[in-house]
Structure 1
Amino acid sequence: MNAIVSKNWVLARLYEPDIVIADCRFLLGKPDVGREAYLEAHIPGAVYLDLEKDLSAPICEHGGRHPLPDIDKFVQSLSKAGIGNDTRVVAYDDQGGAMASRLWWLLRYLGHSTVYVMDEGFSAWQKASFPVSAEQKVIVPASFVPHPQVELVVSVEEVKAKLHTAGTMLIDSREAPRYRGEVEPIDPVAGHIPGAINRFWSEGRRADGSWKSPEEQAERFADLSRDDELIVYCGSGVTACPNVLALTEAGFDKVKLYAGSWSDWISYEGNPVATGEEGKQ
């Protein structure tokens, strides 16, 4: 089964006992907006998982702007949300699937495969006149035993070691002007990791905001070799996740996340930086 599910699919399973719906709405730069929106209205029974409090660790010198959460603390968040090893998880947001994809990736990283992202997001759910609620469900804590899939993530040292090596392709998920180094609204250094190609994460969706089909995703990445190791990054490791999801939907099975991403890369003095169209295919 594909990882992207329709809002009708979610509606039909709204009250099935083994499903937990996770509201992941979050607005970068305005950290309280997502939780406030959740408290105002959410899919009935949904729990809220915060990008910076639940799905990331605190910022340090290295690790990027959204470091991967400590596994033990993340497992505590999952337990409080009622997510166990046998739970089917459906994540949604209103940010094009970026935040929901972060939860999707984290759960897969911990060995949990039955996790899905709801297509289109909460606004589309509301527009369809599907039920919403302001009530917060009483959650029975669940037991979640992590089984980390360490092959799904790479460190800055691994990225450095693999620069310009055959069989490895770096994919930068940011908008093209940021990739080229023409603008940089967030991080102190502009540009990209040398050799990286650019595939803006949002191009995984159609004009109406819905996710492209696996076949359409495959067309997006038609120039990439399925034999290559694909290392995906963005600014902080969040919007790289929808690209990882899209590549997975397209049938690529050697996809890894550079979790620290650009903000981690430039935190190390001496790491090379490229600008312009270098590395574009």
Structure 2
Amino acid sequence: MSQPSPLITTEQLAAILGDPNLRVYDCTTYNEPVPPGSEVPYRAVPGDKTFAAGHIPGADFLDLQGEFSDASSEQFFMMPDVAQLEAAFGRHGLDAGKTIVLYSIGSMMWSTRFWWMLRSLGVDARVLDGGFDKWKEEGRPVETGAPKGYPVTTFKATPRAGFFVDKTAVMSRIGDPATVIVNALGPQFHQGLEPSRYGRPGRVPGSVNVPAATLTNADKTLTTLADAEAKFAAAGVTRDKSVILYCGGGISATIDLLLLTQLGYDRLTLYDASMGEWARDPALPIETD
């Protein structure tokens, strides 16, 4: 049986809106600036206020940092243990037997992050292409107010191995000809040409650059598969290699991961702590142009 597409269009979602087997979740978070010299690169703020101001009818809201991340970690958005995720998704009525649609505001990266997390738990959700921005721009129905939520479920994960790696695993793969390490941050940060809010400027040594920002269109939708394939190929990302993705906090790199998944790549993993950890650890090597 073929897997469902990881994307759903606004037209397709509008056609099934109100279906009792549909579960829609707003995944928006905002990274707000902090004063120079702060110990953290930004302040993670849940998008509950923008949810209340307008959301897709019937949707629930997921607070990534508040409920779905490891609160004991020094890094934002780190993948927590399975038990925490089972409890949190269960509270929000997530049921693998339903059609699960994820969306976010401003960038699809928040919804693609949840998509990757759910895939690692054995659930194939779908991401709204263009997110709430496109939905609203097209004049589709919008609801306001706090989330009403879905009936609580007992969510049982079936974890899949290999979706996340740590710094030790990344270190061990630097220089490995069978592996390509991909940085999803912008070229100015990849090259170390601008100060980084994460710490030391630069990149994981030997990594190549396929910025997530180059994989999206002006209307917030993802680029075509042909364009994505060309960009990855130009960077040396090929199907015969294992691919490790990273960015600043393990969020924007999931846009690259979704497109690579669509393209049929199957040896993919995410360095969860990304530059938020790497750039601040003087024991880890860093490279600049």
Structure 1 alignment gaps of length 5 or more: 277-281
Percent identity over the alignment is: 25
The residue correspondences of 1:17-56 to structure 2 (distance < 5 A) are 17-29=20-32, 31-32=44-45, 34-56=47-69
Cα deviation code 1:117-166 (max 9, x no counterpart)? 10112122112111111243242101211111121221211111111011
Q: Equivalents in 2 of 1:33, 1:141: separation in Å?
A: 21
Q: Equivalents in 2 of 1:185, 1:261: separation in Å?
A: 13
Cα deviation code 1:233-258 (max 9, x no counterpart)? 00111111111111111221111111
The answer on 1:199 being equivalent to 2:202 is no
Secondary structure class of the residue paired with 2:111: helix
Deviation of 1:79 (Å): 0.8
Q: Equivalents in 2 of 1:234, 1:215: separation in Å?
A: 23
The answer on 1:126 being equivalent to 2:136 is yes
Moved more, 86-95 or 182-191: 182-191
Structure 1 residues 142 and 184: alpha-carbon distance in aligned structure 2, compared to 1, 3 A threshold: farther
Q: Which amino acid aligns with 1:182?
A: L
The residue correspondences of 1:135-174 to structure 2 (distance < 5 A) are 135=145, 136-174=147-185
- Normalised TM-score (structure 2): 0.89
Cα deviation code 1:10-62 (max 9, x no counterpart)? 1111112222101012211164461101012110110101121133222634x
Cα deviation code 1:215-249 (max 9, x no counterpart)? 32212212422110000000111111111111111
Q: Equivalents in 2 of 1:41, 1:76: separation in Å?
A: 27
Match of 2:38 in 1: none
Moved more, 20-29 or 31-40: 31-40
Moved more, 243-252 or 129-138: 129-138
Q: Equivalents in 2 of 1:167, 1:107: separation in Å?
A: 27
Q: Equivalents in 2 of 1:132, 1:259: separation in Å?
A: 34
Match of 1:10 among 13, 23, 44: 13
Cα deviation code 1:77-122 (max 9, x no counterpart)? 2111110221221111113201000100000010112x11101121
Q: Equivalents in 1 of 2:46, 2:155: separation in Å?
A: 28
Match of 1:74 among 73, 85, 92: 85
| Count of matched residue pairs | 273
Cα deviation code 1:157-187 (max 9, x no counterpart)? 1111111011000000001111111223421
Moved more, 184-193 or 6-15: 184-193
- Normalised TM-score (structure 1): 0.91
CA contact (8 A) 1:55 1:103 kept: no
The residue correspondences of 1:199-238 to structure 2 (distance < 5 A) are 199-223=210-234, 224-238=237-251
Q: Equivalents in 2 of 1:210, 1:85: separation in Å?
A: 25
Deviation of 1:213 (Å): 2.4
Match of 1:279 in 2: none
